[in-house]
Structure 1
Amino acid sequence: MGAALAALAADAPDRIEKGLLPAFAIKGEPAVAWTMAERMSEYKTPGVTVAFVSDGKIAWARAYGDGITTETMFQAASISKPVAAMVAMKLVEQGKLALDEDVNARLKRWKVPESEFTAKEKVTLRRLLSHTAGLTVHGFRGYAEGEPVPTLVELLDGKKPANSAAVRADMEPGSKWRYSGGGYQVMQLLVEDVTGKPFAEVARELVLEPLGMKNSTYEQPLKDARRVGAARGHRSDGTMIKGQWHTYPEQAAAGLWTTPSDLARVVLEIQKPGRILKPETVAEMLRAVQGGYGLGFGLGLDSFSHGGSNEGFKCMLFAYRQKGQAMVLMTNGDRGSALGGEILRAISAEYNWMDHQQGVKTVVTVTPEALAALAGEYVEPSGGKIAVAVKGAGLAVTRQGRTVEVIPEGPSRFFSRTAEVPDLVFEGGELRGGGVRAKRVQ
């Protein structure tokens, strides 16, 4: 019996890679599942790596794609943030930083500009790590090959050659949760100012090396010796990013190069701390501040997670605290999030997780005339155009050069089976869904 169970567990990765699941099953229709190769081709994503954690260890890791191995480095994008948060928390343990102190007290090269918003409440490390500091700049697009790269201070002030706005407080710190990559750049500067060392060096000394993350670095740009072991980023049409990838001087927010197996080592430290962080430190990180967010991670009932999206790279980390299981996946394609969702649902189904299970939708029949009445061109307030055409028993929606088929679940409500676009509602000559609103013009 034990041998049979062991064999069943060993075969799990094979079942997963043959059982990728769309976001929704259709009630009354046969189940649909795809292979990894089929979906990598569909999403024009040439490389995928996955690591799975169970019972306090990395249970398995797989790599897919030509030249891709489990040691190939990918850009972690925003998953850089929780790892960077661990760096800051180690400095808190060492007494070099304080969670609830005004960061301007220790910043040297630059300070958060005082304003009406910071008159009473101050920007603190706790607020930076939990996205509650009231700071601007959601994310960063990086710098293509040949583009000048700003210093950290130029970046924070939004001065050329920075391609992002200045990081400023535009609401009272602590008053609201709002995602801010800019806040993590203030944290990066804080770490550098109190240690007198580059952030990449501090991260290596305090977190990466102690956890055995030998295929990880915050170095930006990537040094020549490591370039050979790095995946190349790809656009949604499958073409390679110019220069293979972008450079991200925003190291704490988006600059980590790593592998799923190395990130799994981060997960193991959070699940069972002690190698680099004290249990009470990790407990502080996993305590919700606002918006379902702790210090570095998004939090669920028994989970911690983060996603990542850089130019040409998409990745996911999802872990349970008590269950002791987790998965990390990384891709080198701009449509990797949809692919990653299908992999995550396959993993969830295999291991009977309570999260990320496939949903079920009921499809209704809409007459050809009613579908034709919804077809046409829609224009967003920004001027962006959305083309809607009849496709079979549903619609094909084209936005920003990409077409997604949507299926009717009501006369005016449509969904994408792959969830590449949110549910769409057509009403009163408008198309709405997922923050998009467009008026029909023809």
Structure 2
Amino acid sequence: MSRPIRCLPRPRPTIAGLSRRALLATMGSVLISPASLAQDSAAAGKGGDFEERMQRIVNGLRPAVVIAGEAPKKLADRMKELQVPGVSIAVLHDGAIEARGFGSVGIDGPPVRPETLFQAGSISKPVSAVAALALAQAGKLDLDSDVDLLLKSWKVPANPYTDKSKVTLRRLLDHSAGITVHGFPGYAAGEAVPSLVEVLNGAPPANTAPIVVGHEPGTRFQYSGGGYTIMQQVLIDVTGKPFPDLVAELVLKPFGMTHSSFLQPLPKEEAQSAATPYRANGAPVPGGAHIYPELAAAGLWTTPTDLARFALALLDAWAGRNTSVLSQATAIQMLTPGFGDYGLGLVVRGASPDRRFLHDGVNDGFVSSMVAFENGDGAVVMTNGARGWELAGEIMRSIAVEYGWSAGQPRTRQRIAVDPHVLDRLVGTYELSPQVLIHVSREEGHLFAQATGQDRFEVFPESDRDFFYRVVDAVLTFDVENSVSATQVTLHQNGADHIAKRVQ
């Protein structure tokens, strides 16, 4: 039996990151209906013991920061508050995968079950990366050669950056190739869908910019869905096979991912098992799930159970227990972090025995999170609501508490009362960087902070100067010495301090 995976919460969320989803972890950025239990199980597991644990998990949701003395929240209540119709959860423990569905595939739709399909968003990247690594291992491509030597249908546009250093497959996989285009919005029902070359060129009907080299390859981390789109073209040109067929052959079938597919759009018979995506306002995405021709970056349809199997398979290869797809040496390369804590397809953090790999995914109306520890416990959460990023984090923390993980549990802070006049001295706009401002406002005795491109969140006082977030573990410290109003604020997060000067 494969050994299990140990779960952790998603990649550390940030306050100052310019993600499309507020506070959803963006690699390398800085800042900041009642649920119904499905009866299906992916594995026998411990039966009643797991049912008891799952009941504690769904009744024990917690934010990143808990205020001392407050009670946890219930999944059904949070799904209603966040307007997320459905949630699917897979937990790995003691070599088994247990999966449960909650809520519905859509408003007034059938219940979510473990086999209900969700779009995985950027969790497509590590699955695609395994296909590339398997081909490299077989000698069909070189991770460190110029990708232009492999590409036939398209070439990386030359510029002064490519003259200095070349784009390689390894650099595409670990986001150090300097490639532009962070992510993709997909194409709504009825819209023209571009070819892959049109996406690469940014040519109509593509809705994203041309994919080019924006800085010298190999010098720093820059998360790029565009890089994985180049990788997709490399794999197609090298093998001559359609990408969905290729990944099914190299990864999905060997890993036992029987409910997974890179077909876009889904065939009608499979679409009947898919969840409907919903926007943050509770309305369904018009026309249903978007189509993503950028398959390697965002095109996977799957289930938490299948992603749990994927995680277990990587751990088995990494430990040398099963090397039928990836050798131990290749798996070690994949799970060794480079720039930005990113390996070859996955974020990798921590040291043994608490080393973990993880990835989040967001497509229009879908949010997912996958985390695994090297010792074998783990979890995958998939949702069909745009505010699922918040819900997935709360579920992961509840799982972390239930299973006693060494990382990923919420922090507890003490909230105090502060004179409203003190809050007035803190109100203003602070510049974290030329691109990121933090706007601080007050309403009826409460202080709020909003970073550029993100939602507004309340911050809570633990002193007259220190105010903490709850959706992420971060603190704002205001400098009010010898001044009527604060002159600056320092953001403390992830072990680093970032100073923002008042600009108004």
Q: Normalization by structure 1: what TM-score? A: 0.89
Give the counterpart letter for 2:387 in structure 1.
R
* Alignment partner of 1:61 out of 90, 99, 117: 99
Who is 1:48 aligned against?
Answer: 87
2:460 paired residue among 382, 400, 407: 407
CA, structure 1 residues 409+126, in 2 after alignment: closer, same or farther (shift >3 Å)? same
SS at match of 1:318: strand
Judged with a 3 Å threshold, the aligned counterparts in structure 2 of structure 1 residues 310 and 223 are, in CA distance, closer, same or farther, namely same
Q: 2:367 aligns with which of 314, 331, 354?
A: 314
Equivalent residue, structure 2, for 1:12: 53
Per-residue CA deviation, residues 75-127 of structure 1 (Å, 9 max, x unaligned), is 10010000000111111122211111111101001011222212242111111
Aligned residue identity for 1:34: K
> CA deviation digits over 1:47-77, x for unaligned, max 9?
111101123331x111111221111111100
Identify if the C-alpha distance between structure 1 residues 265 and 436 changes in structure 2 by more than 3 Å, giving closer, same or farther: farther
Cα deviations across residues 137-190 of structure 1 (Å, max 9, x unaligned)?
A: 111111222222211111111112212111111222111111111100000000
Query: For each residue in 1:333-367, what CA deviation from the matched residue of structure 2 results, as whole angstroms up to 9, or x when unmatched?
Result: 11111111111111111111111111122323221
SS at 2:341's partner residue? coil
Among residues 305, 326, 329, which one is paired with 2:358 in the alignment?
305
Q: Are the structure 2 counterparts of residues 401 and 235 from structure 1 closer, same or farther at C-alpha, using a change threshold of 3 Å?
A: farther
Q: How does 1:86-97 map to 2 (within 5 A)?
A: 86-97=130-141
* Pair 1:343 & 2:395 matched: yes
Q: What is the aligned residue count?
A: 431
Partner of 1:155: 199
1:294 corresponds, among 326, 343, 355, to 343
Deviation at 1:229, TM superposition (A): 1.0
* Distance in 1 separating the partners of 2:184 and 2:466: 33
2:278 maps to 1:234: yes
**Residues 376 and 389 of structure 1 are in contact (CA less than 8 Å); yes or no, is this contact kept in structure 2?**
no
1:210 aligns with 2:210: no
Contact 1:22–1:32 (CA under 8 A) maintained in structure 2: no
| Deviating more after overlay: 8-17 vs 92-101 | 8-17
Q: Which amino acid aligns with 2:99?
A: A
Residues 10/44 of structure 1: CA separation in 2 closer, same or farther (3 Å cut): closer
Distance 2:308 2:477 in 1: 39
Shift of 1:378: 9.3
Residue 255, structure 1, aligned to residue 299, structure 2: yes
Partner of 1:395: 447
What SS does the aligned partner of 1:90 have? helix
Q: Distance in 2 between matches of 1:22 and 1:130?
A: 30
What is the identity, as a one-letter code, of the residue corresponding to 2:325? I
Relative distance call for 1:216 and 1:432 in structure 2 (3 A) is farther
1:328 aligns with 2:380: yes
Deviation at 1:430, TM superposition (A): 7.5
Displacement of 1:303? 0.8
SS of residue paired to 1:371: helix
Aligned counterpart, 1:23? 64
The Cα shift of 1:31 comes to 3.8
Cα deviations by residue, 1:207-247 (Å, 9 ceiling, x for unpaired):
11222212111111222222111111111121111112221
Spell out the pairing of 1:124-273 with structure 2 (5 A cutoff): 124-273=168-317
> How far does residue 329 in structure 1 lie from its aligned partner after superposition?
0.6
Q: Contact 2:185/2:363 (CA < 8 Å) preserved in 1?
A: yes
Displacement of 1:292 in angstroms is 1.3
Tell me the amino acid that sits aligned with residue 33 of structure 1: P
Pair 1:439–1:271, CA change in 2 (3 A): same
The alpha-carbon distance between structure 1 residues 63 and 422, as it changes in their structure 2 partners (threshold 3 A), is: same
Matching residue of 1:277: 326
* Structure 1 segment 361-400 matched on structure 2, within 5 A: 361-374=413-426, 388-392=441-445, 394-396=446-448
User: Which amino acid in the other structure matches residue 55 of structure 1?
Assistant: D
Larger deviation, residues 282-291 vs 374-383 = 374-383
Q: C-alpha separation between the residues in 2 aligned to 1:116 and 1:378?
A: 36
- CA–CA distance in 2 between the matches of 1:315 and 1:158? 27
Write the letter of the residue equivalent to 1:139: G
> Which residue identity is paired with 1:224?
K
1:415-435 C-alpha deviation (Å, 9 max, x unpaired): 33233x964566757788699
Q: TM-score, normalised by structure 2?
A: 0.79
Counterpart of 1:93, as a letter, is: Q
Cα distance in 2 for partners of 1:95, 1:147 equals 39
Q: Distance in 2 between matches of 1:290 and 1:376?
A: 35
Mark the CA change 1:293 to 1:195 in structure 2 (over 3 Å): closer, same or farther: same
Query: What SS does the corresponding residue of 1:316 show, helix, strand or coil?
Result: strand
Structure 2 distance, partners of 1:414, 1:93, is: 50
Shift of 1:439: 7.2
Offset of residue 44 of structure 1: 1.2
Shift of 1:376: 7.7
Query: CA offset at residue 268 of structure 1?
Result: 1.0
Contact 1:90 1:276 in 2 (8 A): yes
Gaps of 5+ in 2: 1-45, 105-110, 480-485
Q: Give the alignment partner of residue 113 of structure 1, picking from 135, 152, 157.
A: 157
| Aligned-residue offset at 1:410 | 3.7
| Distance (Å, rounded) in 1 between the aligned partners of 2:210 and 2:186 | 15
Matched to 2:342, the amino acid is Y
Q: Give the SS at the match of 2:340.
A: coil
2: CA distance between counterparts of 1:112 and 1:333?
36
The letter of the residue matching 1:65 is: G
Identity of paired residues, percent? 43
Inter-partner Cα distance in structure 1 for 2:221 and 2:329:
24
Moved over 4 A (4+): 5-10, 372-387, 396-403, 421-441
